[in-house]
Structure 1
């Protein structure tokens, strides 16, 4: 077992990049900012340090988040967001059937909101141009985004896209760099997620009904993920759950949505200390549970980023589909098996073998969790990335 970096080697450090606008700090006249983040809940959470920088770098700023249905769920738990507008854009993967009427209505609504500026947050493989056009047509006068090609007048504040030619940054770093271009700075670079007390109270009731106390130690396990390529085998989750319960004497709380009931049942196995919570928890209750867990064992999915925001140690079973979404500023161990087809960006394994995850043994998962349990007093930013050969 060896240590390995999570970022790919630079493809061409001398690649020619187009010229972009010089930084132009936004002044105190930029009060109402539309932040466009149209992908998933975890992506929204990894953008929260940048949202905080935008909110606090000038007085009396108002932040509106334009987000997908999945991303919008996080907004109520992020203090720096004043308003959320839900929008499943046609240029982002969703189940929404194409309907120009919806898009024209959104343009009208954004125009009526009277925004002073828009920040379009994307991963490097996403094109910001459709969102930039929407904001341009909505009359938003300042528009900021990373962009690979010359956007001409669609972006007033253009940051040339350096990734992946010069390597790949963590998603938090990428978005902090973007807003720094317009003078938004913050010394607080932690991810943000606030759990209101009512969710802790309602979680306590649900756990008590299952014979579990929130005040007693437990381990959380999340075996699901939206993409099949990012799922560690459920039967291995079950083996790891049983071994960890036997070693610690603690219950294993298995989390997931109602649509993940089968995989959660498989991951819980037949061990008497496994508690299946599939479909039982609201998002705030899930966050409260993660925040109280001694460690979270999870595929790389939204709960990993909730754990990062709440400071919970994480064993992250990290499929090598993309490199930039590891845990941020919390104790963690990232587990994967190196493969030639790494960074495929596919929802379904194109090779059919899932070797980047199936190469990780149950023993490695258990050892990683026990390592974190033994080192829970170590600095919160520490972490390891373990690659099997």
Structure 2
């Protein structure tokens, strides 16, 4: 492990120092790079709206992973969506440790031919994306003033906001100023800069068809028990207990999840027994958004679908443990959207590595009774 870190650090230092001939911009194009998944990309959309209002004539291109294409494909504030399976974000190990660097070289050559005026690296620690922009010869390179990213940038931005919606707005507002514009004077808060979801044609009808086939009428609640990092999950036995109480209170329970979460979801469905159905691996993202929109309440750990529920206006309860709600919590009206945590902190807070298993003490410390009480408060307010 230490040898791998040393080798990676040496390669990165060489990459930052290697001479690069700047490309001559072919057009006034701004390339935005965001390699992350659902929730982090949703957090970007308010900042994109501010950027478009400030620089209406600028061509804005957004590079995301193919997994995030449905999140931004209908966003009217972007001129072009580019997709690329960013190393480290595919959730698969590369066949060789050299693959990320070989891929970087090929993609940099492509971007050099494209020759945008500027690039913005929107993840604060994404040194690979910053190196890519430098290797492509993009003359203006903007990103967070992070030690892993700073050597590749021409304009590092010091971030002061807490939540990542605020930070995205800080980076793109700084970009606006650098490119000669003036950011909007409106506040960066959930009311003035809400999360957005732009519906897809036919998705509402497909969601209704799936719910009808499963025998789900009104009203229903959604439990989304999965999360991208196992350490963020809450025990299945407790989701069963919550589901049973929701059914006893007159709600049907719809369980959602991706293809790799089918077994988890099915175990919870069988534990609840009556009144619960599984839509795991049966919805596209646009259809999932409409399923969430129709719910009375959406509950789950810190995961992208919970933020999607916020974006479509459904009340949400987010269970937080090793990730920080001040950075990644629900961006919405606190009367409708709540982050629930036990308040535990340890030296590994923020470590969401795949090697960390389910069962973190900070998640186990959230009791079933606390979750049910919060659910009831949200349902009473709705």
TM range (shorter): 0.7 to 0.9
Cα distance in structure 2, aligned partners of 1:229 and 1:47? 25
State the match for 2:128 in structure 1. 130
| Matched positions, count | 337
State the match for 2:349 in structure 1. 343
Q: Do the aligned partners of 1:116 and 1:140 also contact (CA within 8 Å) in 2?
A: yes
Cα distance in structure 1, aligned partners of 2:169 and 2:208? 36
Structure with the largest fraction of helix: 2
Larger RCO of the pair (alpha carbons < 8 Å, separation 6+) = 1
The 5-angstrom pairing of residues 250-329 of structure 1 reads 250-268=251-269, 269-323=271-325, 324-329=327-332
Q: Cα deviation per residue 1:139-163 (whole Å; 9 max; x = unaligned)?
A: 322211112349777323221356x
Cα distance in structure 2, aligned partners of 1:352 and 1:252? 23
Cα distance in structure 2, aligned partners of 1:90 and 1:225? 20
TM-score, length-scaled by structure 1: 0.79
**SS of the residue 2:280 aligns to:** coil
Q: Cα deviation per residue 1:13-35 (whole Å; 9 max; x = unaligned)?
A: xxxxxxxxxxxxxxxx9842111
State the match for 1:334 in structure 2. 339
State the match for 1:211 in structure 2. 215
State the match for 1:113 in structure 2. 114
Distance 1:229 1:352, change over 3 A: closer
Cα distance in structure 2, aligned partners of 1:63 and 1:209? 41
State the match for 2:13 in structure 1. none
Cα distance in structure 2, aligned partners of 1:92 and 1:257? 16
Q: How large is the Cα RMSD of the aligned pairs?
A: 2.5
Cα distance in structure 1, aligned partners of 2:212 and 2:83? 35
Cα distance in structure 2, aligned partners of 1:351 and 1:89? 24
TM-score, length-scaled by structure 2: 0.81
State the match for 2:9 in structure 1. none
Q: CA deviation at 1:106?
A: 1.2
**SS of the residue 1:158 aligns to:** strand
State the match for 2:165 in structure 1. 172
Cα distance in structure 2, aligned partners of 1:30 and 1:221? 47
Q: Do the aligned partners of 2:143 and 2:149 also contact (CA within 8 Å) in 1?
A: no
Which of residues 53, 63, 79 is equivalent to 1:56? 53
The 5-angstrom pairing of residues 44-123 of structure 1 reads 44-90=41-87, 94-95=91-92, 96-97=94-95, 98-99=98-99, 100-123=101-124
Q: CA deviation at 1:351?
A: 9.3
Q: Cα deviation per residue 1:169-217 (whole Å; 9 max; x = unaligned)?
A: 111111111122233634341122111231111111111111124xx22
Q: Cα deviation per residue 1:303-361 (whole Å; 9 max; x = unaligned)?
A: 11112212211110112234411000142121121224162423368698512111111
Cα distance in structure 2, aligned partners of 1:212 and 1:353? 32
**SS of the residue 2:55 aligns to:** coil
Q: Do the aligned partners of 1:315 and 1:332 also contact (CA within 8 Å) in 2?
A: yes
Gaps of 5+ in 2: 1-25, 187-191
Q: Do the aligned partners of 1:221 and 1:298 also contact (CA within 8 Å) in 2?
A: yes
Which of residues 191, 197, 200 is equivalent to 1:193? 197
Q: Do the aligned partners of 1:229 and 1:321 also contact (CA within 8 Å) in 2?
A: no
Gaps of 5+ in 1: 1-28, 163-167, 377-389
Q: Do the aligned partners of 2:222 and 2:255 also contact (CA within 8 Å) in 1?
A: yes
**SS of the residue 2:353 aligns to:** coil
